Homo-oligomer: A and B are copies of this chain.
């Protein structure tokens, strides 16, 4: 136990942790990383200052973030020491990821960079290229990103460092995830919630997370909240989150080196002892984990004053402290002095390589944080051991005859996926796994829970595979971290509230798109969403729970990354889920209902249908050749209403040739030029016709169907019904009526759009309009749907006709 948070003076007990030699080595390595960081931000050429610095050596556009970088480099070199001393298995999650130059510098110093990017060698020319490419057209981004070896975390959008770190630690018992949290990031909601992830980390089977809260005091233009609250409040907050904070604070490098070395020794000792106690069974309660608070100046070792303004230790060091080094000789001279202050001649040899005596400061091989395989999870990925999903199928003798809860059917499959993969699959959900009817999983596992339990608690255990917390941010972030380190999972979520993680989805999609272009990044398991409790069945909750727009967001991402599936029943859901669990480097969105709903396809038909992604349902169609009208549908409720409409039409207008098409894989609607799943135009025309009216009943906002299909021949005749943002707490049939998606309205749409039908079927049209009014009247009088409507089956009428 070293310094406690209430003191910011040097604790004498820690001042001798490092021998003089070690101190010198650590400091030199830190200077080397800082030198390379500044070089990346500023230099085009003359990387080792062999000549006096001239304008042409400096980049014309200065783009980068210095402020956080010296702190990131300091932590890095000290972790290197710990790794060497203990042969520790550590990865580094960089919350302040805009400090990209620091992580690139360290990967370069460790040799990893040159191994991965062979064009950038460990010599002067390599240094020149390393510097030049940073934040440069055709080069690398300014942030820690997929391109950065050793990273599982893009630092552009703040808030997710700690939750990613925990996701990486789950089921990785030997791993320590060091997670640097900037005090800016600490103000975000997702980060504030992430601290509580320690209630879900099991020291017996999971690795450890070491949060390092870096209080450099400033954001872009402001001080940070946590840097300016009293020390007692900060300590209280972190203890309240369940951690033991170890404080390192100062602005004299030798002193801070000693403090930080002692703090890390303390933290790693404590982690080891916590794990030992838990793994021997002697300690079963949730431990209080150590963490580090590091209080050092922003932009430390950079220019102290520029143009008369204080820079080091203030918000002014956030980006480039010297902004005019190209034009302004004074700035350039200050830059040269700054660079030379690191004494590059002591750090690099004549050829530009890191001096061999410094190389020993870093670990080697896979122990290098830049080369740790956990940070390139695809290299560790093992396929899931999947049972045959056919074994979980529900029997379907007649289509649309009996009801099942689709997600409950899936639950039986997931139960056995979990049982067979006890170390590599987790199911995330915000307190909704049972609500979403996946409860069969609790036959084989529990929900992770490390806190106190009470007698009426339901399936809580420290080693559960289901992770429930009322934070979509945590569910998403944990799963991302888990997938990025080479494991598998599924996120089940209420459809409306998955919008809470829109922005996280965006960032993960960008990560995947970039990773796919980097041959050294191996494919990881896809991020699969199961969205249930969807817009059409919010009987309890009403308007706030009704939003099918996540699909639209996903459809904006790169086509090669995204897949959207709308299986209409339990067996199609099984087939889709099996496919998604086998896929790699994608984002899969599955929307499926949890309420009892009609089953349409036996398992073999379901597989064939899902493999095609869309297709004609001949049993529901009256057209044998070219139809008069196409009824298309996507989603369980739209499918039910479409079939009910087809049922009315076949009985009332038996000579009308109706074709029913069901769409499972939404991306099939796009042309192949737009999406890899896109259906060729000729096949699309063969299904949807070139010129017949298409009445499309869709689960979500109707315009998405237009957007996906606007280049198709038949598009002008396509009429889409979907969610029009009309909703409240009401019955299922009232909901579809509010949005004109109901069977009666679909029949009216057919009558209105098939040429010549309007006059011939005027009476039927009026009956449909009356049926809507009557349905509404019934619902409002009795508080439930007319059983003749809610109990409709295709098969009943099918049988009666035999």
User: Residues of A with Cβ closer than 8 Å to B?
Assistant: 44, 59-61, 63-65, 98, 135-143, 145, 154-159, 184-185, 187-196, 199, 219-225, 228-229, 233-242, 309-310, 313-316, 319, 431-435, 447, 449, 451-458, 460, 468-471, 473-474, 496-497, 499-500, 502-503, 506-507, 510, 513-514, 539-545, 547, 549, 552-553, 556-558, 701, 703, 706-707, 710, 715, 725, 728-731, 734, 776, 779-780, 782-784
| Listed A/B pairs (27) with beta-carbon separation below 8 Å | A61-B783, A136-B780, A137-B730, A143-B541, A145-B544, A156-B541, A157-B497, A185-B470, A187-B196, A188-B189, A188-B193, A188-B473, A221-B468, A222-B449, A228-B452, A229-B451, A233-B242, A237-B237, A240-B241, A309-B456, A314-B456, A315-B456, A499-B506, A502-B503, A506-B549, A549-B553, A558-B725
Are B556 and A457 in contact, CB atoms less than 8 angstroms apart? no
Are B239 and A431 in contact, CB atoms less than 8 angstroms apart? no
Are A539 and B61 in contact, CB atoms less than 8 angstroms apart? yes
Are B142 and A783 in contact, CB atoms less than 8 angstroms apart? no
Are A543 and B239 in contact, CB atoms less than 8 angstroms apart? no
CA distance in complex: A471, B191 (Å): 10
CA distance in complex: A242, B225 (Å): 11
* Residue of B142, B474, B729 touching A540 (CB-CB under 8 A): B142
- When distances are taken between beta carbons in the complex, the residues of chain B under 8 Å from A154 are 544
Are B319 and A223 in contact, CB atoms less than 8 angstroms apart? no
Q: Which residue of B lies closest to A219 (CB)?
A: B431
Known: A458-B221, A710-B706, A731-B137. A547 touches B506 (CB 8 A): yes
CA distance in complex: A137, B731 (Å): 7
A504–chain B nearest beta-carbon distance, Å: 9
Are A782 and B187 in contact, CB atoms less than 8 angstroms apart? no
- When distances are taken between beta carbons in the complex, the residues of chain B under 8 Å from A190 are 189
- When distances are taken between beta carbons in the complex, the residues of chain B under 8 Å from A468 are 221-222
Are A556 and B701 in contact, CB atoms less than 8 angstroms apart? yes
Which one of A44, A219, A433, A544 has the greatest number of beta carbons of chain B within 10 Å? A544
Q: Which residue of B lies closest to A514 (CB)?
A: B543
- When distances are taken between beta carbons in the complex, the residues of chain B under 8 Å from A59 are 783
* Residue of B223, B458, B540 touching A457 (CB-CB under 8 A): B223
- When distances are taken between beta carbons in the complex, the residues of chain B under 8 Å from A507 are 544
A371–chain B nearest beta-carbon distance, Å: 24
Are B456 and A141 in contact, CB atoms less than 8 angstroms apart? no
Which one of A235, A715, A782 has the greatest number of beta carbons of chain B within 10 Å? A782
4 closest pairs, A vs B, by CB? A156-B544, A237-B240, A189-B189, A192-B192
CA distance in complex: A433, B219 (Å): 12
A459–chain B nearest beta-carbon distance, Å: 9
Q: Which residue of B lies closest to A237 (CB)?
A: B240
CA distance in complex: A196, B196 (Å): 16
* Residue of B434, B497, B725 touching A221 (CB-CB under 8 A): B434
- When distances are taken between beta carbons in the complex, the residues of chain B under 8 Å from A433 are 221
- When distances are taken between beta carbons in the complex, the residues of chain B under 8 Å from A471 are 187-189
- When distances are taken between beta carbons in the complex, the residues of chain B under 8 Å from A552 are 552-553, 556
Are A451 and B725 in contact, CB atoms less than 8 angstroms apart? no
A494–chain B nearest beta-carbon distance, Å: 9
Are B710 and A539 in contact, CB atoms less than 8 angstroms apart? no
- When distances are taken between beta carbons in the complex, the residues of chain B under 8 Å from A220 are 431-432, 434-435
- When distances are taken between beta carbons in the complex, the residues of chain B under 8 Å from A193 are 187-189, 191-193
* Residue of B313, B435, B447, B503 touching A499 (CB-CB under 8 A): B503
A130–chain B nearest beta-carbon distance, Å: 15
CA distance in complex: A122, B156 (Å): 57
CA distance in complex: A193, B473 (Å): 13
CA distance in complex: A776, B138 (Å): 9
CA distance in complex: A326, B497 (Å): 32
- When distances are taken between beta carbons in the complex, the residues of chain B under 8 Å from A730 are 137-138
Are A544 and B779 in contact, CB atoms less than 8 angstroms apart? no
Are B192 and A541 in contact, CB atoms less than 8 angstroms apart? no
A391–chain B nearest beta-carbon distance, Å: 28
* Residue of B139, B156, B541 touching A142 (CB-CB under 8 A): B541
Q: Which residue of B lies closest to A433 (CB)?
A: B221
- When distances are taken between beta carbons in the complex, the residues of chain B under 8 Å from A434 are 220-221
Are A44 and B242 in contact, CB atoms less than 8 angstroms apart? no
Known: A59-B783, A137-B783, A192-B193. A545 touches B156 (CB 8 A): yes
- When distances are taken between beta carbons in the complex, the residues of chain B under 8 Å from A187 are 193, 196, 469-471, 474
5 other A-B residue contacts (CB within 8 Å) besides A157-B500, A219-B470, A237-B239: A188-B189, A233-B241, A319-B540, A502-B553, A710-B715
* Residue of B138, B189, B544, B710 touching A510 (CB-CB under 8 A): B544
Known: A193-B192, A223-B451, A236-B240. A138 touches B780 (CB 8 A): yes
- When distances are taken between beta carbons in the complex, the residues of chain B under 8 Å from A710 are 706, 710, 715
* Residue of B499, B701, B783 touching A502 (CB-CB under 8 A): B499
Are A447 and B189 in contact, CB atoms less than 8 angstroms apart? no
- When distances are taken between beta carbons in the complex, the residues of chain B under 8 Å from A221 are 431, 433-435, 458, 468
Known: A189-B193, A540-B319. A135 touches B238 (CB 8 A): no
- When distances are taken between beta carbons in the complex, the residues of chain B under 8 Å from A233 are 239-242
Known: A193-B188, A542-B142. A157 touches B435 (CB 8 A): no
Known: A156-B541, A188-B189. A239 touches B236 (CB 8 A): yes
Are B225 and A451 in contact, CB atoms less than 8 angstroms apart? yes
A673–chain B nearest beta-carbon distance, Å: 13
- When distances are taken between beta carbons in the complex, the residues of chain B under 8 Å from A234 are 240
CA distance in complex: A310, B454 (Å): 12
- When distances are taken between beta carbons in the complex, the residues of chain B under 8 Å from A514 are 543
CA distance in complex: A135, B544 (Å): 13
- When distances are taken between beta carbons in the complex, the residues of chain B under 8 Å from A314 are 456
CA distance in complex: A48, B564 (Å): 51
CA distance in complex: A734, B136 (Å): 11
* Residue of B199, B223, B776 touching A225 (CB-CB under 8 A): B199
Are B143 and A61 in contact, CB atoms less than 8 angstroms apart? no
* Residue of B225, B544, B729 touching A157 (CB-CB under 8 A): B544
A547–chain B nearest beta-carbon distance, Å: 6
- When distances are taken between beta carbons in the complex, the residues of chain B under 8 Å from A219 are 431, 470
Which one of A143, A223, A558, A779 has the greatest number of beta carbons of chain B within 10 Å? A223
CA distance in complex: A196, B542 (Å): 31
A241–chain B nearest beta-carbon distance, Å: 6
* Residue of B223, B541, B783 touching A136 (CB-CB under 8 A): B783
- When distances are taken between beta carbons in the complex, the residues of chain B under 8 Å from A556 are 549, 552, 701, 725
- When distances are taken between beta carbons in the complex, the residues of chain B under 8 Å from A138 are 730, 779-780
